[in-house]
Structure 1
Amino acid sequence: MKNKWTLEQLQFATLESQGLTELTPFGTGKKAVLNALEHLGYVQIDTLSIVERAHHHTLWTRIPDFQTGYLEELVEEHTIFEYWFHAASYLPMQDFRYVLPQMNHARKSKSHYYNADKKVMQYVMDMIRIEGPQRARDFETESSKTGSWWNWKPAKLALERLFMQGDLMICGRKGMQKMYDLTERVLPQHISTTEPDPIEFAEYLIKTCLRAYGFTTLKQITHLRTGNLLKINVSKVLKSMLEEGSIIQVDMEGLPPVFVQNSLLEKTVEFSNSHVRLLSPFDNSIIHRDRIRQVFNFDFRLECYTPKEKRQYGYFCLPVLFGDRFIGRADCKAHRKDKQFELIHLHIEDSGMSTELWLEPFVETLKRFAVFNGCELLMLTKVSPSKLTAAVREALYKQM
């Protein structure tokens, strides 16, 4: 079944499914974090701390009372876990069996990345079994002892391989330092360890994408996953779902075939342009750059990996979402020691929109975000276009 949809409907589908059309789409408190992860499928972990780290930022965007300690508590309670999705991520423990194909691939892999010394791997396993959870730096200390027959780098590689192949799991963190423990001591007994067959895995990817985004494409389902067999299986499952009527195929000019949940047909497009979201560059909603460009006409890329002289917007820009429109990007930095939050460059692209509409909610969100980053004062350096500088500055410093 093929249907014609409007661009506005696709925009609403993805923003609502991502939890970006309501203030508390997943509830409040720690339970909301688990709800969000189970709905979105994953949240990417990143070590960059120009502003609050991506995994915390992404959840704060959807959970106004989010606290950074919630993730650690959920890991310790064994309701979420860390593994490699398309990148290092937190995932709901209920989905553990769907990482087993990747774990088993890592176990069989002969690639240089996984070329860890078997003796060192056994030593690492024995030490953790006897001494309990360990960090990579604990092995650095061990390797420096007199008479040690190995050094830290092979131990670190062994830890990574044992983690990737599923013998070890991360049971917690001290800051950003991972604590490794035996999988048998971390994985709850009720969690299935039956590896899904290829069709089951394809179904998992499709249903996760549809739940988290409302609509999807073959390219997005197989994002950063190699192998023609996976594409073939995903195509088979999509065909079956179309035949049974649980999804529909939508024709959109300039887009590849789009698959949409049938349940979305009954929903009315209702946007509230009263709230601004400052999104992490690693937020689930914008991780598919092609999708955002095609559906929202917003061309976004993170420029921290771009040479300084070639940057157009700034080192660590945050997309600015106003209702259903990406109106610009904000290059920010938290100077935590001085408790100052700097708006290095606010670039507004939607010049046709009245400043009176977006400025007040933008400033409100920016102030909340500054507090979330442990800052008390705001600093403004640059606004583009420059004609907006006075208005932004007045709104920013009002009542401060």
Structure 2
Amino acid sequence: MTINQADLLKKLRLITLEAQGLNHKKPFGSGKAAVLAAIQQLGYVQIDTLSVVSRAHHHTFWTRIPDYQPKLLDQLVAERQIFEYWFHAASYLPMQDFRYALPQMLSIKNGESRYFKADSQIMHNVYDKIRIEGPQKARDFESLSKSNSSWWNWKPTKIALEQLFMQGDLMISARNGIEKVYDLSERVLPSTINTTLPTVLEYAEYLVKTYLRAYGFTTIKQITHLKKGQILRQNVEKILSQMLEDKIIQKFEGNEIQTIYVRIDLLEKTYNTNHSNLHLLSPFDNSIIHRERVKACFEFDFRLECYTPELKRKYGYFCLPILFGDVFVGRVDCKAHRKSGVFELVHLHIENTEIDLSSWLAPFLKTLHRFVHFNRCQSIIISRISPPEQSNTIHEFINHHWDETQLKDELPITK
């Protein structure tokens, strides 16, 4: 298939939004089955402890599953259909993919990759306590060492727990809020799960197919992100070469884009280019976690600034990208004040001036209201809008058209 670069970029946007479940209102259905289907399609969902608004993993599911509730995720963990481990960060993954976590577990256990410096005797004691007494939380342990050494100010038993978890001896059997419950892996893993160590070629194939399924297209750089080793890269290239030969994917090269590999079935598909879905995305959402991809395809330069010193922040502490159709129209720095029930739009940044503001304000407000309820808040405050000249337009729209959203009496908005 021959295609010019502008048309290719448009097609790539539509392909990746389709693959990510952002082109339809209920791409995975509803309820618990939809949560499992979403994880299987996306490959993983990142876990994050920041609670400025609803935590990232819950936010990511809520974006794709209208009736999502956190208890559905807990149920899937309890049923052993998903598990926690590391992808590029702490994540929920499909239990069916467990064997592909084994290479990293083995590498850590053999000392090839060192995340922690746990005391071997404390690790032994921690493991035995869980083996004998059953599942434990970190606070169930008293320090088993008199050492004052620490890692991120963790006590030695916490370090031991994380070492045992990362090397695969322990798994997370449940969470109480954000607090982990650890148990022996042999008691958590279903007996039907394949636990054979994949070959390097099998592991490469898993990575390639995961990225192609989740995004519709990929690059070698993305596939091997944070994964070291020339052998892995060579096997990734081998898998891609075979898929090219089998006409499963097509390769594109250009001056302004990296070499990319696109699924041919998605290239040939016809997409609705007039849809106006609006999404308020988590900063950790799978669709935007690869910043270079987003910048290249969507011309949207996104960085999470909560780890940036306040004076150096351009947009705010915890900005949520606003996606309208296949265009990012802006971002909004948000904070849920749960005690007072107020959801604050600390700073709404309107960035795309080519799209009429009035075309996306109504769906933005509807999506915002759903999200505010999901965050257990009852009212909204808009503290700042940029550019300032848009402020009056937005507030006039709210005052004159609020009934159109059918939410006027449900959730008040104030300046």
TM-score range with shorter-chain normalisation? over 0.9
1:273, 1:3 → 2: CA distance? 23
User: Which one of the candidate residues 56, 59, 62 is aligned to 1:60?
Assistant: 62
Q: Which amino acid aligns with 2:296?
A: Q
Is 1:263 the equivalent of 2:247? Answer: no
Tell whether the 8 Å contact from 1:103 to 1:166 is kept in structure 2 after alignment. Answer: yes
Matched residue SS, 1:99 = helix
Cross-structure match for 2:219: 217
Q: Which amino acid aligns with 1:233?
A: N
Matched residue SS, 1:337 = coil
Cross-structure match for 2:193: 191
Within-5 A mapping of 1:101-250: 101-109=103-111, 113-140=115-142, 143=144, 153-250=155-252
Q: CA offsets per residue over residues 203-249 of structure 1, 9 Å max, x none?
A: 10000000000011111111121222211111111111111111111
TM-score by length of 2: 0.92
- More displaced 10-residue stretch of structure 1: 239-248 or 40-49: 239-248
Tell whether the 8 Å contact from 1:128 to 1:181 is kept in structure 2 after alignment. Answer: yes
Within-5 A mapping of 1:276-355: 276-355=278-357
Cross-structure match for 1:92: 94
Give the share of equivalent positions with the same residue, in percent: 58
2:141, 2:350 → 1: CA distance? 49
Q: Which amino acid aligns with 1:323?
A: G
Is 1:19 the equivalent of 2:18? Answer: no
Matched residue SS, 1:78 = coil
Deviation (angstroms), 1:110: 5.9
Q: CA offsets per residue over residues 260-284 of structure 1, 9 Å max, x none?
A: 1121132113134432100000000
1:198, 1:7 → 2: CA distance? 32
Q: Which amino acid aligns with 2:203?
A: F
Aligned length: 395
Structure 1 spans left out of the alignment, 5+ residues: none
The higher relative CO (CA closer than 8 Å, separation ≥ 6) is in 1
Matched residue SS, 1:134 = coil
Matched residue SS, 2:141 = helix
User: Which one of the candidate residues 23, 27, 30 is aligned to 1:28?
Assistant: 30
Deviation (angstroms), 1:254: 0.7
1:113, 1:224 → 2: CA distance? 14
Change (3 A) 1:2 1:133: farther
2:57, 2:155 → 1: CA distance? 27
Deviation (angstroms), 1:387: 1.6
Q: Which amino acid aligns with 2:385?
A: V
Matched residue SS, 2:233 = helix
Q: CA offsets per residue over residues 290-314 of structure 1, 9 Å max, x none?
A: 0000111000000111111111111
TM-score by length of 1: 0.95
Structure 2 spans left out of the alignment, 5+ residues: 149-153, 403-407
Deviation (angstroms), 1:259: 0.5
Q: Which amino acid aligns with 2:217?
A: F
- More displaced 10-residue stretch of structure 1: 220-229 or 366-375: 220-229
Deviation (angstroms), 1:149: 6.0
2:112, 2:219 → 1: CA distance? 32
1:84, 1:96 → 2: CA distance? 11
Q: Which amino acid aligns with 1:187?
A: L
Tell whether the 8 Å contact from 2:24 to 2:277 is kept in structure 1 after alignment. Answer: no
Cross-structure match for 2:361: 359
Tell whether the 8 Å contact from 2:28 to 2:65 is kept in structure 1 after alignment. Answer: yes
Matched residue SS, 2:92 = strand
